Amino acid sequence: MIILLHIKLNCKKCNGISVKNGFQSNGTQRYYCKSCKLSQQKSYVYKAYGKHISYYIYKLLINSSGISDIGRVLNISNNTVNKRILSISKQIKLPIFNETNQSYEVDELKVSPMNKYWYVTYTINKRTKKVVDFIVGRRTKENLSRVINTLLLLSPKNIYTDRLIVYNSLIPESLHCNRKNQINRIERYHLNLRTHIKRLNRKTICYSKNLLMLEAVMKIYFWGDSLSWS
């Protein structure tokens, strides 16, 4: 009787040929890819190594699931969820907008993590409701100017804001509109954010501990659909 031993494996990263290369500490066979030099196993016990785990994290994150919720549902650790969220956000490239002569709304969403005050300042196209740019941090002139400068490069028709005084020095008077009830669309978008992102919910124990994680989550929510999850 002849027993055929499985000595080769298709690489999970580049689909190249991987050959046997010793054993893990628990006795599991290890394979080594000759093309991309990656060591791997045929199968993993820990669920975080699943092929579509990043996509599941993305979908849960934008549907009002916190870090602990995602960890419980996917049966992975909270630290793994945090690391994967940061990894996903780094893969997202800032969108390029070629539009001109459009109207935009700018506003700030207040977040209160650990008795601090941060703001998610972002801008949307008044017609398409697409997020053009955002910044997370204090509501300073320097931070607000980054968002406004992005809009000015697009040769906008109008820029609508609330009556925060600092906008008067950042936006040309011919483009600036700060009359009442002119930013209804972005204020409605605020409600979507607080509903879909758990760390932005009011009166809960879920909050952001650091600025980097909050920025990563917002980036994923705004532009995560641009990634290829196949």
155 and 137 inside one domain? yes
108 and 2 inside one domain? no
200 and 212 inside one domain? yes
Establish if 9 belongs to a structural domain.
yes
Per-residue pLDDT reduced to its tens digit, 102-140: 999 999 998 876 667 789 999 999 999 999 999 999 999
110 and 213 inside one domain? yes
129 and 183 inside one domain? yes
Among the candidates 34, 64, 91, a domain finishes at 91
CATH number, domain at 222?
3.30.420.10
pLDDT of residue 155: 94
Establish if 96 belongs to a structural domain.
no
d(C-alpha 161, C-alpha 198), whole Å:
26
Establish if 213 belongs to a structural domain.
yes
Task: State the DSSP string of 23-41.
Answer: E-TTS-EEEEETTT--EE-
Residue range(s) defining the domain that contains residue 75 = 47-91
d(C-alpha 183, C-alpha 126), whole Å:
9
Q: Tell me which amino acid residue 102 is.
A: Q
Name the most confidently modeled range: 8-22, 28-42, 173-187: 173-187
175 and 146 inside one domain? yes
pLDDT of residue 46: 62
> How many domains is the chain partitioned into structurally?
3
Confidence grade of residue 2 (pLDDT, cut at 50, 70, 90): very low
Establish if 173 belongs to a structural domain.
yes
Sheet of 29-33, strands arranged across: 8-10, 17-23, 29-33, 39-40
Per-residue pLDDT reduced to its tens digit, 16-35: 888 888 887 777 888 888 88
Measured in degrees and rounded to the nearest 5, phi and psi for residue 114 equal 50, 50
d(C-alpha 209, C-alpha 82), whole Å:
12
39 and 10 inside one domain? yes
Residue 4 above 90 pLDDT? no
